[in-house]
Amino acid sequence: MKIKYLGTAAAEAIPALFCTCEVCREARKAGGREIRLRSQALINDNLLIDLGSDTVANSVRFGIDMTRVLHCLITHIHSDHFCRPEFFYLNPGFTHREPGMPPLTVHGSEDVAEALKESVASSAGALVCRAEAPFVPFDAGDVRVTPMKANHGTDHPYIYLLEHDGKTLLYAHDTGVFPQETWDFIKETKPHISLASLDCNDGDTDGDDYGGHMCLGRCKRVRARLIEAGAADENTVFVLNHFSHNGVRPLYREFSQVAAREGFIVSYDGMELTV
């Protein structure tokens, strides 16, 4: 299974649009891996995770033909992951589709289904939305997907387990340390996770768990709990992702070295990993 990170930042991006902080100034100057757009990922070239306001930019800069993407998972309805107006552009007149083209099927929690009601109704069949129940697997193309409850600031946020060709990927954005129901499910089902992408919004720090995001210290504890639960082992690849300019030492050139010493890979926009 292949994951391509299209965007790896928190809501404000790096550099943040109006920000003059040291991180944003440095990112503007350095360019390259220091530039992070809002979080989004592509699985096996055809399954999109999240559809935020940088989707057009990502399709252009990485040469992705989004008409080939037939399934999209939404983690939660914060605007960096879910840009509702974009879905209206599937309406006839805004977009020109070849006859017989399959619809884009969006999967998410009931929050997503509610938010997309009007878009689905006006899309003339181009957009389908499925409200998926937590811990109940479904198919998105040839990927088996299990939504699990996240610990984040919307009503029903999800993190996802993705299975394809004997490999399992955990995409855990956005979330604090997982809720107990999710840990119970992991302990019970023991997925063998080949790659875990963990929320590291707060960067190189540690601290008390809170509902929302994680940092290096919390990611280390989550990794230990996944191993203890039998869901990960020494072969599991751990990636840190979703960075904020307000985090501690978020610049790639510094944090990638700190994280590497702890056995983590730091994501960057355009990074591709195959497990």
Q: Which residues bind Zn ion (CB under 5 A)?
A: 16, 19, 21, 24, 78, 80, 174, 245
Shortest spacing between CB 190 and Zn ion, in angstroms: 28
**Least spacing, CB of residue 40 vs Zn ion, in Å:** 10
Nearest distance from C-beta of residue 201 to Zn ion, angstroms = 7
Distance CA 36, CA 61 (A): 12
Toward Zn ion, which CB reaches closer, 90 or 214?
214
CB closer to Zn ion, 48 vs 90: 48
Burial class (CB in 10 A: 0-12, 13-18, 19+), 220: middle
Please give the Cα distance from 26 to 146 (Å, whole number). 39
Instruction: Rank residues 150 and 226 by Cβ distance to Zn ion and give the closer one.
Output: 150
Instruction: Give CA separation, 124 vs 68, 71, 83, 119, in Å.
Output: 19, 17, 20, 9
CB of 238 to Zn ion, least distance (A): 19
Are residues 202 and 243 in contact, defined by beta-carbon separation less than 8 angstroms?
Answer: no
Residue 162: alpha-carbon gap to chain centroid: 12
Q: How far is the CB of 41 from Zn ion (least distance, A)?
A: 12
Helix (H) / strand (E) containing 168? strand 167-172
Contact by Cβ (8 Å): 266, 256: yes
